[in-house]
Structure 1
Amino acid sequence: MKRIASIVAIGAFLLASPLLAAETEAGKEGYTFSIVGNGLNSCSAWTRSRKAQNPPDAAWVLGYISALNFWFLPKDHGAARNLAEGTNVAGVFAQIDAYCEAFPLKQVNDATRTVVSRMVTKWHAAHPVIPTKPAPRKRAQRAAAEVPPR
């Protein structure tokens, strides 16, 4: 699985030429960030290429998700960091397809971020934080806590 993720990430990087970058407003989040590569392609282009069964943006989408799995999902949940848990590549692409059919003038990154947002919510609901045991108190702290107030 790690090898596949590495291949997808490398493929996304290689398919990102020519390197296109744009500042995208994150709306209510209140910051801007750069989108690089095929994520800037339109949803209508995604839909056309999916019908031809040759989506050049597919590697970009999978690379985006793989990067979030590695960098964004917390390690303290005791679960595999896999946003696509419970689905497969075809399922992820079906969600992108549905978004792009509904919003053809949007970009692939908009579709991906929308789908990923749902995936993040679902992942966190399925994997709550595992509580850690509190550090043992030192003897002096225990004694002070047990002394009744005057």
Structure 2
Amino acid sequence: PPLRAPEHAAACLEALLDGTADAIATDHAPHTVVDKQVEFGAAANGISGIETALGLVLGAVDAGRLPLLRAVEALTVGPARVLGEPFGGGVGLVEGEAADLVVFDRGDRWTVTADALLSRGKNSPLIGRDLPGRVLLTIADGRLAYLAD
């Protein structure tokens, strides 16, 4: 959902905790500067969200508002279940099958900057924010999709 009042964010978090919500999704909308630098009503909706989602969720974990296991489930197995993916039953890695996974350094922090965002959309209300959990590599469908410097 779009940015809302703190009580709405708290309700989303409570839904994760009590099982009402199964997944965290970003609705990643990487619009270019050209799409955004227009009158408000004409601007493309959304922000780049996929690159900051892990750090935001880990921030909730660090603040004691969300258990780490529930956070990981909501970012991984939860969306798979919602989409009806075959591994949605809880087994994420299957020997001999193409993997989808992210390796991150839980103790490393990074600062959100336009240069750090690799998608075409550089618009984020999080620019300048320090987030936990720097991603080291991403494997999508068994192929290396991202490798940190």
Give the TM-score of the pair, scaled to structure 2: 0.30
Higher strand share: 2
Give the TM-score of the pair, scaled to structure 1: 0.30
